[in-house]
Amino acid sequence: MQYTINKQLLNQFTNTHNSDSDIKAFRTYTKTCQDFNILPHYQIIESSTPFYNLSKQYDILIATTREELHNAIAYKKNQYYMFLHKKRDSEISKSCHIIESNNEALSLLNKAQQPSPTIGFTPTMGALHNGHKSLITANVAQNHISIVSIFVNPTQFAPTEDLDKYPRTIEKDIELCGNNDVDILFIPTNETIYQENDEITLNPPKKMGYILEGYYRPTHFAGVLQVVLKLFNLIMPTHAYFGQKDAQQLLIIQKMVQHLCLPIKIIGMPIVRDSDNLALSSRNVYLNTQERKKALAIPTTIFHLQTRIVNDGMRNRKILKQEAKEILKDLEIDYMDFYTYDLQFAKEARECIFLLAIRMGAIRLLDNLWIQ
Ligand code: AMP
């Protein structure tokens, strides 16, 4: 797919991410393309724009407000139904003459019905890397309509954390989504997600939400659940994709979906690693060369444990922990242990997750191993 971006206009956007000027920059871009008769490669769905007026030629629809998002989804659904109609008409006209059994009539009836499109959703905070890309690729491949969101959610950051400094690479992010056939990119402003007095919030489960990451970041999972539920309600996906990299987050979101009876299938995707095996993370850019080198003891530990468990059949939790400690001896460990899928201590290294967090300079590095 050809994909070009008007750098000058997007620079304007990049420097002012998450404010009303984002929308302005996008609109200027679209308008300039119209003025110069250039085909834009992405398009804001204006609230007032009826979806049937939009052309198919755009690669990716970008929405920043609720209305724009809903118009974009309606537009994509309409495209899907139009496609289905054409397909169904051709199938029906082909088989009309040769119905010979009840079964055939039944299968024709099934074809004539309009199944709803599946809507896949990948929430992210941007600064997209290959880890995000694996979630996006699965989403695009497995659903009729794919949606990615980029939103650096303030409620999941404590006041002492890196909200303002969180890496933002919006221009590259749009390109990655465009090149990977994402249908809709939702880049809400704070005002799109949060009202002035957002009083109704969610608490994570007591036993799962305040240990491990929750111990070091006590308000974190409440903020995550708040934004994820809001995004689920805005997008109404049928499938949502999360990384096993953030294992505790994935398990807590699965609990929320289960406890609140949300009709969404949560799909956990394996950890993607860099060429040196460090798990990819948007925050890795904070590491200097020396720290990065030191941090490689983390994937070494993970691969060591995997080998010991799979090849040697070693399931003794204490022995494995001792070996891990030895490899990590020069690092500051926040936590390291084997946990069940309900985040209780696992008695042995079987059907559980090994969870590890290391403190390094300004950041904490997470890694884990899912054990059969
Ligand atoms: P973030 O942008 O950090 O909020 O992450 C968005 C999603 O990408 C979350 O579901 C993460 O678990 C997932 N993710 C982040 N890094 C990786 C990785 N290295 N491999 C797989 N998934 C990841």
- Going by pLDDT thresholds of 50, 70 and 90, the confidence category of residue 15 is very low
Which residue, judged by its Cα, is nearest atom 10 of ligand 1? 242
243 within ligand 1 shell (Cβ under 6 A): yes
Residue 230 scores a pLDDT above 80: yes
The Cα–Cα gap between 363 and 358 comes to 8
The Cα–Cα gap between 157 and 217 comes to 8
- Give phi and psi for 211, each to the nearest 5: -110, 175
Q: Residue 184: which of 86, 64, 286, 100 has the closest Cα?
A: 64
Length of the chain measured in residues: 372
Which residue, judged by its Cα, is nearest atom 22 of ligand 1? 243
280 within ligand 1 shell (Cβ under 6 A): yes
Q: Residue 281: which of 147, 178, 122, 130 has the closest Cα?
A: 130
Active site residue 132: yes
Atom nearest to 127 CA in ligand 1: 2
Mean pLDDT of all residues in 79-87 = 78
Q: What is the pLDDT of residues 137-152, one digit of tens each?
A: 999 999 999 999 999 9
The DSSP 8-state label assigned to residue 159 in this structure reads T
- Going by pLDDT thresholds of 50, 70 and 90, the confidence category of residue 101 is confident
Q: What is the pLDDT of residues 294-340, one digit of tens each?
A: 999 999 999 999 999 999 999 999 999 999 999 999 999 999 999 99
- For residue 88, the SS3 value is helix
Atom nearest to 273 CA in ligand 1: 19
CA of 132 to the centre of ligand 1 (A): 5
Q: Which of 137, 246, 285, 365 to mutate to test the pocket of ligand 1 (most atoms within 8 A of CB)?
A: 246
- Going by pLDDT thresholds of 50, 70 and 90, the confidence category of residue 14 is very low
Residue 228 scores a pLDDT above 60: yes
Model pLDDT, residue 116? 87
Residue written as token pair 């020396």: 290
Report the mean per-residue pLDDT for the chain: 86
Residue 189 and residue 64 in contact, taking contact as beta carbons nearer than 8 Å: yes
124 within ligand 1 shell (Cβ under 6 A): yes
The Cα–Cα gap between 116 and 238 comes to 10
Interior angle at CA 294, CA 290 and CA 300, nearest 5? 145
Q: Which helix (H) or strand (E) holds 50?
A: none
Residue 280 corresponds to which tokens in the numbers above?
């990819």
Domains of the chain: 7-68+115-269 (3.40.50.620), 282-371 (3.30.1300.10)
Question: For 35-39, 130-134, 262-266, 277-281, which range has the lowest pLDDT when averaged over its residues?
Answer: 35-39
CA of 305 to the centre of ligand 1 (A): 22
Helices (H), 117-167: 130-142
Residue 127, number of CB atoms within 10 A of its CB: 20
Radius of gyration of the chain (CA): 23
Model pLDDT, residue 85? 73
Helices (H), 96-246: 102-112, 130-142, 170-179, 190-193, 206-209, 213-216, 220-235
Residue 349 scores a pLDDT above 80: yes
125 within ligand 1 shell (Cβ under 6 A): yes
CA of 35 to the centre of ligand 1 (A): 39
Distances in whole angstroms, Cα of residue 90 to Cα of each of 77, 85, 105, 111: 20, 8, 16, 11
Residue 280 scores a pLDDT above 50: yes
The DSSP 8-state label assigned to residue 331 in this structure reads S
Atom nearest to 132 CA in ligand 1: 8
CA of 280 to the centre of ligand 1 (A): 8
Check 132, 144, 220, 239 and give the catalytic one: 132
279 within ligand 1 shell (Cβ under 6 A): yes
135 within ligand 1 shell (Cβ under 6 A): yes
CA of 273 to the centre of ligand 1 (A): 11
The DSSP 8-state label assigned to residue 117 in this structure reads P
Which residue, judged by its Cα, is nearest atom 18 of ligand 1? 131
Q: Residue 130: which of 4, 271, 17 has the closest Cα?
A: 271
Residue 238 corresponds to which tokens in the numbers above?
């049928």
